[in-house]
């Protein structure tokens, strides 16, 4: 379980506790505000986690890993038993998905987003 999953789990638990206690405690308005704040945080965390999903295919990730190791298109093609044209095609797609225009930028963006 990563940090974000643990945080989401704990926030859900706290939200339930606040709702339960708000029925029996005089400070129900304060607890309901806390519960609403927690739910807002959960919503934003869930939105963030959706945008963090890896848009790269398994093959694109494999190719980008070779790029990160300094391999040329020819070397990658040879290692994966596919043509250089196929590598170029995948790199075009990788550049679009990582919002990059260069190989190093694609690797950096993928690492930053934990896609690689």
> What are the domain boundaries of the chain?
3-51, 58-112
Residue 94 predicted with pLDDT over 50: yes
Summary mean pLDDT of the chain:
80
pTM to 2 decimals? 0.56
Does residue 103 surpass a pLDDT of 90? yes
**Average of pLDDT values for 2-11?**
70
Give tens-digit pLDDT for 37-63: 666 666 666 555 444 588 999 999 999
User: What is the rounded CA–CA span in Å between residue 75 and residue 37?
Assistant: 52
Residue 51's pLDDT is 46
CATH number of 58-112: 1.10.10.10
């Amino acid at each position: 379980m990563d940090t974000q999953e643990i945080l989401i789990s704990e926030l859900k638990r706290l939200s339930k506790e606040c709702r339960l206690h708000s029925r029996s405690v005089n400070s129900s308005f304060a607890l309901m505000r806390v519960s609403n704040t927690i739910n807002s945080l959960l919503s934003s965390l869930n939105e963030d986690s959706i945008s963090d999903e890896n848009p790269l295919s398994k093959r694109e990730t494999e190719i980008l890993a070779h790029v990160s190791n300094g391999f040329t298109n020819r070397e990658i093609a040879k290692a994966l038993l596919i043509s250089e044209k196929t590598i170029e095609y995948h790199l075009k797609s990788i550049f679009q998905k990582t919002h990059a225009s260069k190989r190093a930028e694609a690797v950096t963006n993928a690492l930053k987003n934990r896609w690689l």
